[in-house]
C-alpha cells in the first residue's frame, strides 16, 4: 500500500521531478581526462607490491614479550643500598633515649662541632685585631672567592670530622667498622638543619665586609675617573 502510494508520488510531483532534472543537467560535466588519470592511478597501485604488515607486527610484539621475559632484572645501586642498610642499622645501634625522653647527643660529634665554632671565633678575633687599613689592602688584592674561603673551609672541616668512625658497641669489640658521612646520617638535630648563631654572625660579617669592599671599589673608580678628568 505504502509502496504504491510512493510510486504515485513519483508520478504526481511533476514540479519536483522537473526541478531535479534541471539541477542534474546543471551539474558540472565530467572532466575528459578523468578516466585516463584514474587508469594511471590504477596502474600505479597495481605496481606497488602489497605488503602484508600484520605478521611483522605480531612477530615484533612476540619478540618484545620474549625480551622482557628473558632479560634478568637489573640490580640498581639503590637496591644494593637498600640491601646494605639493615646491616648498617644492626652494626650501629641508635643511641638509647634516656628515660626523660631527651635526645642524646654524640659527645665526639658535639666536640667536633665545638672545635669548629671555636676555630671560627678565633679567626674572627684575629681579624678584629688587624688594623683596618691592612684589611682593606688585603681585600683589594684578593678576589672575592678567596674572601669566602673560611666558610668553605669550615664546611670541609665539619664533614671530615663527622665522617670519622663513630664508636659503637659492636665496633669497639673488634667488629667491622662502618664509615658514615654526614650524608648518611638523617637530620634529626636542629643544629644540622638550622644556622647556628655563630654561623649567622659569620655570614653577617662577611656581608658587611663585602659591602665595604664594594664601597671602596666604587671610591677607587670615582677617584680614577676624577684623575682622568683632571688630566684632560
Residues that bind another protein (CB under 8 A): 2-3, 6, 9-10, 12-24, 27-28, 30-31, 34-35, 37-39, 41-43, 45-46
Q: Taking the complex as a whole, how short is the minimal distance between the CB of residue 40 and another protein, in angstroms?
A: 10
Query: Which residue's CB is nearer to another protein, number 6 or number 96?
Result: 6
Instruction: Report the b/e string of 53-82 with b at 16+ CB within 10 A.
Output: eeeeeeeeeeeeeeeeeeeeeeeeeeeeee
Cα distance between residue 89 and residue 105, in whole Å: 18
122 alpha-carbon distance from chain centroid: 39
Query: Which residue's CB is nearer to another protein, number 30 or number 96?
Result: 30
Query: Which residue's CB is nearer to another protein, number 17 or number 83?
Result: 17
Grid coordinates 655563630 are at which residue? 198
Cα distance between residue 93 and residue 165, in whole Å: 14
Are the CB atoms for 83 and 168 separated by under 8 Å? no
Q: Taking the complex as a whole, how short is the minimal distance between the CB of residue 69 and another protein, in angstroms?
A: 40
Cα distance between residue 180 and residue 185, in whole Å: 7
Enter the C-alpha cell of residue 112: 667536633
Q: Who contacts 149 (Cβ-Cβ below 8 Å, separation ≥6)? A: none
Q: Taking the complex as a whole, how short is the minimal distance between the CB of residue 12 and another protein, in angstroms?
A: 5
Q: Taking the complex as a whole, how short is the minimal distance between the CB of residue 15 and another protein, in angstroms?
A: 5
Q: Taking the complex as a whole, how short is the minimal distance between the CB of residue 31 and another protein, in angstroms?
A: 7
Q: Taking the complex as a whole, how short is the minimal distance between the CB of residue 56 and another protein, in angstroms?
A: 22
Query: Which residue's CB is nearer to another protein, number 23 or number 134?
Result: 23
Query: Which residue's CB is nearer to another protein, number 37 or number 204?
Result: 37
Give the E-state strand segments of the chain in sequence order: none
Q: Who contacts 106 (Cβ-Cβ below 8 Å, separation ≥6)? A: 95, 166
Q: Residues 141, 146, 149, CA angle at the centre, nearest 5°?
A: 145
Q: Taking the complex as a whole, how short is the minimal distance between the CB of residue 83 and another protein, in angstroms?
A: 58
Enter the C-alpha cell of residue 53: 604488515
Amino acid at each position: 500500500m505504502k509502496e504504491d502510494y510512493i510510486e504515485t508520488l513519483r508520478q504526481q510531483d511533476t514540479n519536483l521531478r522537473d526541478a531535479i532534472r534541471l539541477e542534474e543537467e546543471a551539474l558540472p560535466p565530467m572532466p575528459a581526462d578523468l578516466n585516463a588519470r584514474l587508469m594511471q592511478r590504477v596502474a600505479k597501485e597495481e605496481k606497488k607490491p602489497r605488503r602484508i604488515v600484520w605478521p611483522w607486527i605480531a612477530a615484533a610484539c612476540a619478540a618484545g614479550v620474549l625480551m622482557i621475559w628473558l632479560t634478568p632484572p637489573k640490580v640498581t645501586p639503590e637496591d644494593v643500598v637498600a640491601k646494605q642498610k639493615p646491616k648498617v642499622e644492626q652494626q650501629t645501634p641508635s643511641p638509647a633515649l634516656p628515660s626523660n625522653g631527651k635526645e642524646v647527643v654524640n659527645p665526639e660529634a658535639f666536640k667536633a662541632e665545638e672545635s669548629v665554632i671555636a676555630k671560627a671565633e678565633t679567626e674572627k678575633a684575629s681579624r678584629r685585631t688587624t688594623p683596618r687599613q691592612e684589611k682593606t689592602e688585603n681585600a683589594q688584592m684578593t678576589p672575592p672567592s678567596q674572601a669566602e674561603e673560611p666558610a668553605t673551609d669550615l664546611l670541609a672541616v665539619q664533614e671530615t670530622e663527622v665522617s670519622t668512625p663513630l664508636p659503637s658497641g659492636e665496633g669497639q669489640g673488634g667488629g667491622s667498622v662502618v664509615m658514615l658521612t654526614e650524608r648518611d646520617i638523617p637530620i634529626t638535630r636542629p643544629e644540622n638543619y638550622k644556622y647556628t648563631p655563630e654561623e649567622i654572625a659569620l655570614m653577617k660579617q662577611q656581608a658587611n665586609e663585602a659591602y665595604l669592599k664594594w664601597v671602596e671599589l666604587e671610591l677607587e673608580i670615582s677617584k680614577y675617573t676624577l684623575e682622568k678628568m683632571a688630566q684632560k
